[in-house]
Amino acid sequence: MEELLLLIKYLFLGLVQGFTEPIPISSSGHLVLLQDIFGVGVSGLSFEVLVNFGSLIAVLMIYWKDIIHLAKNGINYLTTKDKAYHDDFMFIIYLVVATIPAAVLGLLLDDYIEATFADRAKMVGITLVITGIALWIIRNLRGNKNDGALTMKDAIIVGFAQSVALLPGISRSGATIVAAMLLGMKQETALRFSFLMFIPVSVGTMMLSVDDVVNDPNFNTLWIPYLIAFIAAIIATYYSLRWFMNIMRKGNLKYFAFYCFIVGIIAFILL
């Protein structure tokens, strides 16, 4: 019975992590709140790395055609200098530039953020409300910038917006999509740019965490629960992202704003 409850616990955490990863309500923030409410916290970094890897696989499954298209046209531009491939080549450059701020600030400030925001549940409550305000501001925006209209300034601003998500409770997808739409990007372009940015960030996190995974004392005894959470994260992220893409097309971001307000206020008052 105890083993079954353990499997259910990790299945639940994997589903929550996977479902909340693509949508602008902060997956890490929800895991923090669940740990406080239900006492379902997990020790060690391996779990976070594995469920993040599961979400990465789901994102790759959805955007694999875009990735192949960009890679092929990027190589074609480097070899031929044909202007037909210029916009896709620059899109790749902008993705690389946008990844840098979060990578650098994450390495420099990660320990400081952990130590400073010890009361993580209260912090998540505050940052969820902030996320809700940001989503409310852009709820009716309809930009006109497509892939070819992006600039280096856009990439840098969205990159710094992504680094704000280092704070507990700030959604990575929310921060980047809000910044992108405030800069005038179309919903589809903002969404693609945000989730293609997620790929190098996720890969970099995994590479930096290999040692933690290898040396995790829980891995040998918890590999089955970890595997269940990993598979759950893939499935939940895939369908959640598909659903969110439809939400973005319809412009219903206000509902996420309402959700962030409600959960954020409850977390701040009660936890």
Distance CA 134, CA 122 (A): 19
Extract the residue ranges of the chain whose pLDDT is less than 50: none
Q: Letter for the amino acid at 177?
A: I
Predicted local confidence at residue 30, as pLDDT: 80
Distance CA 195, CA 58 (A): 11
Predicted local confidence at residue 228, as pLDDT: 92
Q: Letter for the amino acid at 78?
A: L
Whether the Cβ atoms of residue 207 and residue 199 lie closer than 8 Å to each other:
no
Whether the Cβ atoms of residue 92 and residue 74 lie closer than 8 Å to each other:
yes
Kindly state the DSSP code that residue 144 receives in the 8-state scheme.
-
Predicted local confidence at residue 207, as pLDDT: 78
Whether the Cβ atoms of residue 199 and residue 59 lie closer than 8 Å to each other:
yes
Residue in 67, 66, 63 with CA at minimum distance from that of residue 22: 63
Distance CA 201, CA 183 (A): 22
Predicted local confidence at residue 40, as pLDDT: 59
Q: Is the pTM of this model over 0.85?
A: yes
Predicted local confidence at residue 78, as pLDDT: 94
Alpha helix stretches (DSSP H) within the chain: 2-20, 27-38, 46-80, 86-116, 120-137, 152-164, 172-182, 187-208, 210-214, 219-250, 254-270
Residue in 120, 116, 122 with CA at minimum distance from that of residue 264: 122
Kindly state the DSSP code that residue 145 receives in the 8-state scheme.
B
Predicted local confidence at residue 214, as pLDDT: 66
